[in-house]
Structure 1
Amino acid sequence: DIQREEEKVKRSIKDAAKKGQKDVCVILAKELIRSRKAVSKLYASKAHMNSVLMGMKNQLAVLRVAGSLQKSTEVMKAMQNLVKIPEIQATMRELSKEMMKAGIIEEMLEDTFESLEDQEEMEEEAEMEIDKILFEITAG
C-alpha cells in the first residue's frame, strides 16, 4: 500500500514539474522522504519485535530446562530416600563375607574329596601290590 502511494506521489511530482510548480514538487518530495523514513522505521520496528520475540522464546526454553532440572533433582532426592546407600553397602559386605566363607568351605570340600580320591587310589594300588606279592609267593 505504501509503495503504491509512493508511486502516485512520484507521478504527481513529475506532473507538477512539467507544469512548473516547484513549490508543489518540494512539498511532495518531502512527503516522499517522510514516507520512506516511515517505511524504514516500520522495518526497524519489525526487526526489533522479532528480536524481542526470539529473546522471549529463549527465556521460555531456559525456564523449561530449569523446570526439568528441578524435577530431575526431586526424582533423584526421592530415589536417594528410597535407596539407602549405607544399608546397601552393609548388605554387600555381608554378602561378600558369606561368599568368602562359601569359597573357603568349597575349597575345603574340594581338598577333602581329593584326599578321599587319593585314598581310594592308594587302596587300589595297595591291593594290586598285595595281589602281585601273593602271586609271586604262590608262584601263580
Structure 2
Amino acid sequence: MASLFKKKTVDDIIKEQSKELRGTQRQIIKDRTALERQEKQMMAEIKKMAKSGNKEACKILAKQLVQLRRQMGRTYSVSSKVTSMSTQTKVMNSQMKMAGAMATSAKTMAAVNKKMDPQKTLKSMQDFQKENMKMGMTEEMINDTLDDIFDESGDEEESQDIVSQVLDEIGIEISGKMGKAPAAGKSIPTAASSKATISDEEIERQLRALGVE
C-alpha cells in the first residue's frame, strides 16, 4: 500500500510529460496523414465534377478543400509547438540535474572546507616544497660526484690507451728492425720482449718521432 502513495519525484513528472508529448506528436502525424489522403480524394472528385460540367459541385468541393488545407496547416503549427514543448522539457530536466549536481558539489566542498585546516595545509605545502628542494640539491650533488668519478676514470682509461698505442707502435717498428737478426722462432717479437734489447736513447728517439714528449 505504501508504494501506491509514493510521492512522485520531479524526474518522474518530467518523464510522464515527455511521454504524453510524444503520444500527442504521434497522433498529430496520424491525423495529418489522414487529411492528406482526404485531400487527394477531394482533388480527384473536383476533377471528376469539372469534367462532367457540374460547376456547383466543384465550388462546394473547392471550399471544402480550402478548409481541409487550413486544417492541415494547423496540424503543422501544433506539431511545431509540441516539439518546442518537448525540447523545453528536456532542457528543464538537464538544468534541474545540473542544479542537483551543483548542490551536491557545494555540500561536498563545504564539508571538506569545514574539516580542512588552512594553517596545516599551508604548512604541509611549505614542508613539501622544502623537502623537495633538499632532494633536488642532494640529487645534484650525487650527479656531480658521479660525473667527476666517471670523468677521472675516463681520463685514466684514455691515457692508458695512448701509452699502449705508443708502445705497440714502438714494438712494431722495433720488430721490423729485428727482422734481419737470426730469429729463434717464427713468432713476431712483442713490445715487451723488444724493450729488453734496445737502449733508452732508442726508446726516446721513437717517442719523439711519434710526437710524445
What are structure 1's unaligned runs of at least 5 residues?
Answer: 104-140
Q: 1:57 aligns to what?
A: 90
Structure 1 residues 16 and 78, CA gap change in structure 2 (3 angstroms): same
Please list, as runs of the form range in 1=range in 2, the aligned pairs for 1:73-92 lying within 5 A after superposition: 73-89=106-122, 92=124
> What is the TM-score of this pair, normalised by structure 2?
0.41
What is the aligned-residue RMSD (CA, Å)? Answer: 2.4
Question: 1:81 is aligned with what amino acid?
Answer: K
Residues in 2 aligned to 1:35 and 1:28: alpha-carbon distance in whole angstroms: 10
- Deviations along 1:68-114, whole A, 9 cap, x unmatched? 0110000000111121223444x549969xx8xxx9xxxxxxxxxxx
Residues in 2 aligned to 1:54 and 1:8: alpha-carbon distance in whole angstroms: 36
Q: 2:68 aligns to what?
A: 35
Q: 1:12 aligns to what?
A: 45
From 47, 52, 59, the equivalent of 2:80 is: 47
The structure showing larger relative contact order (alpha-carbon pairs under 8 Å, at least 6 residues apart) is: 2
Structure 1 residues 95 and 40, CA gap change in structure 2 (3 angstroms): closer
Identity %: 24
Question: How many residue pairs get matched?
Answer: 97
Q: 1:117 aligns to what?
A: none
- Deviations along 1:10-49, whole A, 9 cap, x unmatched? 1211121122221111110111111111111101110111
Structure 1 residues 13 and 85, CA gap change in structure 2 (3 angstroms): same
Moved over 2 A (4+): 86-89, 91-96
Question: 2:81 is aligned with what amino acid?
Answer: H
Residues in 2 aligned to 1:94 and 1:56: alpha-carbon distance in whole angstroms: 51
Structure 1 residues 2 and 93, CA gap change in structure 2 (3 angstroms): closer
> Is it true that 1:23 corresponds to 2:56 in the alignment?
yes
Residues in 2 aligned to 1:30 and 1:16: alpha-carbon distance in whole angstroms: 14
What are structure 2's unaligned runs of at least 5 residues?
Answer: 1-33, 135-213
> What is the TM-score of this pair, normalised by structure 1?
0.60
